[in-house]
Structure formats: structure tokens, C-alpha cells
Amino acid sequence: MSFINLMQREINCKLVYYGPGLCGKTTNLQFVYEKTNPDAKGKMISLATETERTLFFDFLPLSLGEIRGFKTRFHLYTVPGQVFYDASRKLILKGVDGVVFVADSQIERAEANMESLENLRSNLGEQGYDLDKIPFVMQYNKRDLPNVATVEELRQMLNPTNVPEFEAKARVGEGVFETLKGVAKLVLTELRKGEMPGNRPGAPAAKPRV
């Protein structure tokens, strides 16, 4: 659920990185954090276990710049990928505007990827979202490892509807910003479609102060 503040002329959107345990969600955010100018980012918050597994979420606020005089802000979240944290994943999906699915390309993670994707679809469904209708991109991560499935195989398993897909080596940052841009574009494009509720001409209270 994007949040448009007509008064402060800013728009806030929520992006969620989803995927199985250890696929590299937190690594994606860490790379974005490291490579972003200090004035365009806030603090990155990681609620993690002592072994650096995500326990509740990672959070990174980013400012991307202005569109038509509106500041665009993206709030990036990761979910905990481990199966038993499902209750937390549901909470973090609330109000989501766009989803990145980070798949672990290693052959032995094929099943974990598919389970996590199914879990994403059903958790979204519980909240009235349809994965096929919301801004959604796919990232095939860990392309640097030797034991990976081919992109064609991954596509067949995980991306039958052909949403935008990106190969990545998140540990060294390859593909990380491409993925982020990919989903951010879809979210902004979605906003263009959206009608502004209640902002009828002749409703003076609804007019933004310029």
C-alpha cells in the first residue's frame, strides 16, 4: 500500500524481498546499503539471530529522487526465509507494493525455492493479494557457484508467467541494483494506473498545497 503525502509531496512504497533461507535476501539489502550515498539512505536495521539469520526483518529506507516534484521513497524489507518463521513473513507482507523473489540457483535448493514461492503466493492470497497481479520480479542468485541450475531450468520451475528476471551474484553485488530498479519501475508504473481517490476537482480540502 503506497502512501502518498500530498502535503509533503512524497510517495512511500514498500518492497519485500522473499525467498528460502540463505538465498541472499539480506545480502541484497546490504549491498544496496553499502553502495548508496549517505544522503539517500537511512539506517539499515537487521533483526537477526546471533548466527546472522534474519529473525524478523531487515529494513532499509531509500530515497530515489523526485518524479514530477514528488520525492519517491522506497522501504526495503526482507523476510526471514527459514520455514518456521512463517508467522513473521505474513506480518511483513502487509501493505506490500512490490515483491522480489530471490531464488537460490544451487541445484539442491530447487525444492526450497519452489516451496518458498508457493508460500509467498498463499501468504499473499490470505491478505487478498494475487501474486500474478502485483509488481513482482524474480532474481536468480548465487550465479557464481559451480553447482547451479541453468536459467532455463529455473525459469521453468519458478517463472512460468515470465515476470522480469535477473541473474545475480549478490555477494559481489552483481544484478542487485538491476533487480531493485526492475521492481521499482513496476511499482511506479502501477501508481500511474492508480486513480487518486477523493481528489475531485472542486474538493478544496483535497488540493495539495504547492
Partner 1 sequence: MNNQQMVMYEEEFNQIQVVVDRLVRDANAKVVFIVDKNGQLIAASGDIDNVDTTSLASLTAGNIAATGGIAKLLKENEFATQFHEGEKANIHIQLVGNRVILVVIFDSRSSLGLVRLRVKKATEELVTIFENLMKKVQEPGTAGGSPFSEITDEDIDNLFND
Among 39, 52, 160, 209, binds partner 1 (CB under 8 A): 209
To the nearest 10°, report the CA torsion of 5, 8, 9, 15. Answer: -50
| Residues 56-115, interacting with partner 1 (CB under 8 A) | 56-57, 59, 61, 64-65, 67-70, 72, 75, 87-88, 90-92, 94-95
For the record, the C-alpha cell of 19 comes out as: 525467498
Contacts of 172 by beta carbon, 8 Å cutoff, 6+ apart = 144
| Distance spanning both ends of the chain, measured CA to CA | 24
Among 2, 26, 72, 179, binds Mg ion (CB under 5 A): 26
Residue 38 interacts with partner 1 (CB under 8 A)? no
* Cα within 13 Å of Cα(80), Cβ side: 21
Quote the CA–CA distance of 176 and 207 in Å, as a whole number: 38
Residue ranges binding ligand GTP (CB under 6 A): 19, 21-27, 53-54, 78, 80-82, 141-142, 144-145, 169-171
Which residues would be at the binding site for partner 1 (CB under 8 A)? Answer: 1-8, 11-12, 14, 42-43, 45, 47, 56-57, 59, 61, 64-65, 67-70, 72, 75, 87-88, 90-92, 94-95, 127-130, 133-134, 181, 184-185, 188-189, 191-192, 194-201, 205-209
